[in-house]
């Protein structure tokens, strides 16, 4: 008898419906978490391994000394370097190519580099439209380095002394 | 043999050996810097400290001799601790240069600091820095990296024979120096790069070109002298044969030939491989203008022109010359082709001009003993041989042997700057030299109680001293050098020297120029013998004959006649007048564009496979390192296809191995004895003529080295000038540094004159092979000098 009454009350007050709506109302009232990609992005670690770049010293001199350690360590054999004696007697590259199709963004090159020249920036938005663009030449890599220098330096600063 | 214990194991070792030698013998590694098995023991680095039972302190393994029942620990805590501390001290002053250091990856200090170094340093002071040392165009120095092991100093003193380096200052300021600033003069200086355990001495020509781990090593044979030194070519790009390039050359150990040394010429000549004058495609001359052609077109042009000349004039109208870098297979095909075309006129003895005794000579020249035998001689007698510049590696055996009592005597056309002291020496012009040699033979014969076959002048005091030395020595080697071979009296020299050798019981041998002159003569690139060594009843024309009785057509394989033959002027003239000159060559030159009609690009030694025979008679084969540049092809392929175009039979070789098999079947090696004619009277000698000595400087000896740019920078002023002694200069009214006109027949050059008292009377030295002397006159012939007006 009592059960019958409870059932009818629930039916007439649309109790089940309200119970279902509770989740809707709860999420309707809570803060939005969907990101409007590409206008908005998830935050990335300062150690994120994205597009490659070659850095310079503050005086504009390229850092790379053609020691070829990155070429040797690269598990994907993506790096090709040729070197020479520059007119001022220092050791420099004449060619520094990275095939980004081969690159697996492991970051070993950055780790091997004794002068912090080759680095992985946190940039991940880049696309290649034509065959051949996958070879990042020295000029291109230095240009990327120039564009991102402040960010690269900032990210390296956070990790200073930790590794 | 005695028993010792190393690390708990008992070994049998030679008595008197040092601990490090005993350990090396049994494959137990002891770290070391200053010890080098070919150098004296300095024991100054202390890296090799090991623990010896019953000794309070650790002992240096390189300078402690083993004693019976010695108990040694190389890995005990005490030994390791000592090694670690030595390493720590060494690294105090060592720069952090590894990433830019050419030694990186192949550095003994790097290796040992992985094994014994600490990753942190307790040292806080300023590091030592040392100025660079200027050592010339071949060696680059970074003296801050030097660890004062003195290996370079010991090499230059003991094996180079010149003591060009030494230590100056004391303690922390101690540094390697040349005392007075000057370039290294040694022909072996490159070896210091190898002995230096660190990157203090590195090779300038291959500086910063690559890292040691990316090079691929290919075995090779040095292509510039008749010793056949073993070496490695180091090439880049191991995964892509097409883009492979030779990056550097290092020695390969071969105890019986070059031990672990090579000459600078062998080490740095690779630079010439990429010279701009490389011929990259076949070229054909039509009405005086050169045009590139396809192989097909060029070869059919060769076949047409050669074929029609031979059809109308007979095979006799063809003359063939082979240069010394032609491999044995190529030489074999070349003589086969020549003889198939009906010509007997083929020669490879570019730097000889007296062939009167050729029928009695050995089929190919020999040293008369093994190269390694030079270590254990009592007396070595050089006749007309500048061993230092022509066969530098031999001096690494002679220099240390001097300490052990070897005495060297010489009879030379000038006082060569040997790196070792001579016990006795006769310096005289070519004719006087012949007289003194005859006098020497007569004197020795008299002493031995044999009847002298030759009547000679009175021997000079030095000749008498040489005779005495020869009579009092047991083991003697007589060596006839490049000058004697090039002389117009060569056969007389040879006959007298072989008589002398018989009289004193010495070995007698020759030291000809070029990598494969020996092999080419062996496979029959001579007019008087076939490939099987059989003498021809009617020999063809030799190189001199071919120019005196000009042929209509010539084929030149891998030589530049203007700079490679003795009678350059006459050769050029004959070639200019010939109806057809076909050059198989790796490099072109202006002169070649003049006389040649067709130039076919062939591969230099690093781009072809083949075999060279060295002066001991051992055949060494090598593989191509890179693909030929441009359209060049190995010469054996070119010759094979040319024969096909000429429709000759038996040229269906499918591979180099097929040629090699055929060659080894035809050319059976048998040790024939030579019976040289006994000289009874001296040839008539001309007096009062100025004779031209015409040696080739080391770095001008063949087409490849002439194009190696760093080696060219080592040419010193006196090597590119005419040299006369003060007496000759004053009789001609010439002074040091003046410009003179030298004339031989029609040809004339202007050259700077220098007064040098190493030159005997009646002689003037005008080097061959230089760009100024290309195509000039003939060696060993009369020359006139006059003051230039300009
Ligand atoms: S990130 Fe890794 S794969 Fe990419 S270039 Fe560097 S080492 Fe090579
Ligand atoms: S000599 Fe060896 S340890 Fe010294 S900088 Fe060069 S590679 Fe490094
Ligand atoms: S330069 Fe090299 S070989 Fe010479 S003392 Fe220094 S480290 Fe030794
Ligand atoms: S190797 Fe023994 S002290 Fe240097």
- Which among B187, B206, B200, B208 has a CA at the least distance from the CA of B250? B206
With CB atoms and an 8 Å threshold, state whether B209 touches A84: yes
Residues from chain A contacting residue B104 (CB–CB below 8 Å):
67
What is the pLDDT at residue A32? Answer: 83
Q: Are residues B260 and B376 in the same domain?
A: no
Structure token pair of residue B201:
């001495």
Contacts of B256 (CB under 8 A, 6+ apart): B370, B371, B372
Q: Which ligand is nearest to the CA of A52?
A: 1
The CATH class of A52-162 is alpha beta
Question: A72 to chain B nearest CA, in Å?
Answer: 8
What is the pLDDT at residue B336? Answer: 95
What is the pLDDT at residue B452? Answer: 67
Q: Which ligand is nearest to the CA of B175?
A: 3
Q: What is the pLDDT of residues A72-81, one digit of tens each?
A: 999 999 999 9
Q: What is the mean pLDDT of residues B1-20?
A: 94
Q: Which ligand is nearest to the CA of B60?
A: 4
What is the pLDDT at residue B701? Answer: 94
With CB atoms and an 8 Å threshold, state whether B214 touches A91: no
Q: What's chain B's average pLDDT?
A: 93
Which residues are near ligand 3 (CB < 6 Å)? Answer: B 146-152, 176, 195-198, 200-201
- Residue A114, pLDDT > 80, answer yes
Residue A74 CA, ligand 1 centroid: distance in Å: 5
Structure token pair of residue B376:
């254990």
> Is B153 part of any domain?
no
Q: What is the pLDDT of residues B579-621, one digit of tens each?
A: 999 999 999 999 999 999 999 999 999 999 999 999 999 999 9
Q: Are residues B607 and B655 in the same domain?
A: yes
- Residue B258, pLDDT > 60, answer yes
Residues from chain B contacting residue A71 (CB–CB below 8 Å):
214
Q: What is the mean pLDDT of residues B672-687?
A: 73
Q: Are residues B255 and B310 in the same domain?
A: no
Q: What is the pLDDT of residues B505-559, one digit of tens each?
A: 999 999 999 999 999 999 999 999 988 888 888 999 999 999 999 999 999 999 9
Q: Which of B90, B109, B127 is the endpoint of a domain?
A: B90
What is the pLDDT at residue B673? Answer: 61
Q: What is the pLDDT of residues B149-188, one digit of tens each?
A: 999 999 999 999 999 999 999 888 899 999 998 899 999 9
Contacts of B668 (CB under 8 A, 6+ apart): B532, B533
What is the pLDDT at residue B120? Answer: 80
Q: Are residues B714 and B591 in the same domain?
A: no
> Is B136 part of any domain?
no
CA distance B405 to B408: 10
Residue B34 CA, ligand 3 centroid: distance in Å: 9
- Determine the residue of chain A that is closest to B101 in CA distance: A67
- Determine the residue of chain B that is closest to A91 in CA distance: B208
Question: B139 to chain A nearest CA, in Å?
Answer: 14
Q: What is the mean pLDDT of residues A129-137?
A: 94
What is the pLDDT at residue B173? Answer: 87
In which domain, by residue range, is B572 found? 283-353+517-526+539-666
Measured between alpha carbons, how far is residue B687 from residues B429, B452, B567, B730, B733 in Å? 11, 25, 21, 19, 20
Q: Residue B74 belongs to a domain with what CATH number?
A: 3.10.20.740
Residues from chain B contacting residue A114 (CB–CB below 8 Å):
98-99
What is the pLDDT at residue B672? Answer: 61
Facing residue for B207 by CB, picked from A71, A85, A115 = A85
How does residue B670 score in pLDDT terms, banded at 50, 70 and 90? low
With CB atoms and an 8 Å threshold, state whether B208 touches A114: no
DSSP H or E run through B478: strand B476-480
How does residue B718 score in pLDDT terms, banded at 50, 70 and 90? confident
> Is B757 part of any domain?
yes
How does residue B671 score in pLDDT terms, banded at 50, 70 and 90? low
Q: What is the pLDDT of residues B450-486, one digit of tens each?
A: 876 777 788 999 999 999 999 999 999 999 999 999 9
Ligand 3 atom nearest to B143, measured from its CA: 1
CA distance B637 to A86: 41
Q: Which of B57, B90, B123 is the endpoint of a domain?
A: B90
Structure token pair of residue A49:
């391994």
Question: A83 to chain B nearest CA, in Å?
Answer: 6
Q: What is the pLDDT of residues B409-453, one digit of tens each?
A: 999 999 999 999 999 999 998 888 999 999 999 999 999 988 767
Nearest CA to ligand 3 atom 3: B196
- Tokens 């000896």 locate to B701
Q: Are residues B705 and B781 in the same domain?
A: yes
Pocket test for ligand 3, best of B108, B149, B166, B197 (most atoms within 8 A of CB): B149
The rounded percent of chain A whose pLDDT value lies above 70 is: 99
CA distance B556 to B544: 15
- Determine the residue of chain B that is closest to A86 in CA distance: B208
What is the pLDDT at residue A131? Answer: 92
Residues from chain A contacting residue B207 (CB–CB below 8 Å):
85
Query: pTM to 2 decimals?
Result: 0.92
Question: B176 to chain A nearest CA, in Å?
Answer: 22
> Is B216 part of any domain?
yes
Residues from chain B contacting residue A112 (CB–CB below 8 Å):
none
Q: Are residues B573 and B490 in the same domain?
A: no
How does residue B664 score in pLDDT terms, banded at 50, 70 and 90? confident
**Domain tally for chain B?**
5
**Ligand 1 within 6 A of CB of A100:** no
> Is B135 part of any domain?
no
Rg (C-alpha) for chain A, rounded Å, is 28
Q: Residue B778 belongs to a domain with what CATH number?
A: 2.40.40.20
Asked whether the beta carbons of B362 and B512 are under 8 A apart, the reply is no
What is the pLDDT at residue B360? Answer: 87
With CB atoms and an 8 Å threshold, state whether B208 touches A72: no
């Amino acid at each position: 008898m009592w059960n019958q009454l409870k059932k009818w009350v629930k039916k007439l007050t649309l109790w089940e419906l309200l119970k279902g709506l509770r989740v809707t109302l709860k999420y309707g009232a809570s803060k939005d978490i969907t990101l409007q990609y590409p206008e908005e992005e998830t935050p990335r670690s300062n150690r994120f391994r994205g597009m490659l770049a070659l850095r310079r010293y503050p005086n504009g001199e390229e850092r790379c000394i053609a020691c070829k350690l990155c070429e040797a360590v690269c598990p994907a054999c993506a790096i090709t370097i040729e070197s020479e004696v520059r007119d001022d007697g220092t050791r420099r590259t004449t060619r520094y190519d990275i095939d980004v199709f081969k690159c697996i963004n492991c970051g070993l090159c950055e780790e091997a580099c004794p002068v912090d020249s080759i680095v992985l920036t946190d940039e991940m938005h880049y696309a290649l439209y034509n065959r051949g663009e996958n070879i990042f030449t020295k000029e291109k890599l230095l240009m990327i380095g120039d564009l991102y220098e402040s960010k690269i330096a900032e990210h390296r600063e956070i990790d200073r002394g930790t590794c | 043999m005695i028993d010792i214990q190393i690390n708990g194991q008992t070994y049998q070792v030679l008595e008197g050996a040092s601990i490090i030698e005993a350990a090396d013998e049994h494959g137990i590694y002891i770290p070391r810097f200053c010890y080098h098995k070919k150098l004296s023991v300095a024991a100054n680095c202390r890296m090799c400290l090991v623990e010896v039972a019953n000794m309070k302190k650790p002992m240096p393994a390189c300078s402690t001799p083993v004693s019976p029942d010695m108990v040694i620990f190389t890995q005990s805590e005490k030994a390791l601790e000592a090694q670690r501390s030595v390493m720590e001290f060494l690294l105090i002053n060592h720069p952090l240069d590894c990433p830019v250091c050419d030694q990186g990856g192949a550095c003994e200090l790097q290796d040992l600091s992985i094994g014994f170094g600490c990753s942190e340093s307790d040292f806080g002071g300023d590091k030592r820095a040392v100025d660079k040392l200027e050592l010339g165009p071949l060696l680059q120095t970074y003296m801050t990296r030097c660890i004062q092991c003195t290996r370079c100093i010991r090499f230059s003193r003991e094996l180079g024979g010149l003591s060009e380096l030494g230590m100056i200052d004391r303690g922390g300021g101690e540094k390697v120096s040349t005392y007075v600033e000057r370039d290294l003069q040694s022909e072996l200086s490159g070896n210091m790069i190898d002995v230096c355990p660190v990157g203090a001495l590195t090779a300038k020509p291959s500086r910063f070109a690559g890292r040691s781990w990316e090079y691929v090593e290919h075995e090779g044979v040095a292509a510039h002298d008749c010793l056949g030194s073993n070496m490695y070519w180091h090439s880049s790009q191991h995964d892509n044969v097409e883009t492979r390039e030779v990056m550097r050359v290092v020695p390969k150990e071969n105890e019986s030939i070059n031990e672990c040394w090579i000459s600078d010429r062998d080490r740095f000549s690779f630079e010439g491989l990429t010279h701009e004058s490389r011929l990259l495609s076949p070229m054909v001359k039509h009405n005086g203008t050169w045009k590139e052609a396809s192989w097909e077109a060029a070869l059919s042009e060769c076949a047409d022109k050669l074929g029609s000349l031979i059809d109308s004039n007979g095979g006799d109208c063809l003359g063939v010359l082979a240069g010394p870098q032609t491999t044995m297979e190529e030489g074999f095909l070349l003589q086969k082709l020549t003889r198939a075309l009906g010509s007997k006129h083929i020669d490879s003895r570019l730097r000889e001009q007296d062939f009167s005794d050729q029928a009695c000579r050995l089929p190919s020249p020999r040293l008369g003993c093994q190269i390694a035998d030079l270590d254990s001689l009592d007396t070595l007698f050089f006749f007309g041989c500048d061993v230092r510049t022509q066969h530098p590696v031999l001096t690494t055996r002679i220099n240390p042997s001097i300490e052990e009592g070897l005495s060297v005597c010489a009879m030379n056309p000038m006082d060569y700057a040997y790196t070792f002291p001579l016990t006795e020496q006769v310096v005289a012009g070519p004719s006087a030299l012949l007289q003194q040699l005859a006098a020497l033979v007569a004197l020795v014969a008299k002493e031995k109680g044999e009847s002298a076959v030759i009547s000679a002048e009175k021997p000079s005091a030095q000749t008498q001293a040489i005779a005495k030395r020869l009579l009092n020595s047991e083991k003697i080697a007589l060596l006839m050098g490049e000058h004697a071979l090039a002389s117009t009296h060569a056969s007389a020299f040879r006959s007298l020297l072989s008589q002398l050798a018989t009289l004193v019981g010495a070995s007698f041998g020759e030291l000809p120029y070029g990598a494969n002159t020996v092999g080419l003569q062996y496979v029959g690139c001579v007019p008087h013998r076939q490939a099987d060594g059989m003498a021809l009843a009617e020999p063809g024309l030799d190189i001199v004959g071919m120019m005196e009785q000009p042929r209509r057509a010539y084929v030149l394989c891998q030589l530049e006649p203007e700079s490679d033959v003795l009678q350059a002027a006459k050769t050029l003239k004959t070639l200019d007048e010939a109806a057809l000159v076909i050059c198989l060559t790796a490099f072109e030159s202006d002169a070649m564009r003049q006389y040649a009609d067709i130039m076919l690009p062939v591969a230099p030694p690093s781009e072809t496979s083949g075999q060279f025979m060295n002066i001991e008679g051992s055949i060494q084969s090598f593989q191509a390192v890179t693909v030929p540049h441009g359209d060049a092809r190995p010469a054996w392929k070119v010759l094979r296809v040319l024969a096909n175009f000429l429709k000759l039979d038996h040229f269906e070789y499918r591979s180099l191995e097929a040629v090699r098999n055929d060659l080894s079947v035809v050319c059976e090696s048998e040790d024939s004895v030579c019976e040289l004619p006994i000289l009874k009277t001296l040839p008539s000698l001309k007096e009062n003529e100025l004779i031209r000595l015409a040696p080739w400087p080391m770095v001008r000896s063949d087409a490849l080295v002439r194009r190696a740019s760093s080696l060219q920078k080592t040419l010193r002023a006196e090597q590119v000038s005419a040299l006369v002694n003060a007496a000759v200069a004053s009789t001609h009214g010439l002074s040091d540094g003046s410009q003179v006109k030298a004339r031989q027949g029609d040809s004339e050059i202007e050259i700077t004159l220098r007064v040098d008292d190493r030159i005997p009377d009646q002689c003037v030295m005008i080097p061959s092979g230089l760009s100024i002397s290309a195509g000039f006159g003939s060696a060993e012939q009369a020359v006139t000098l006059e003051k230039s007006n300009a």
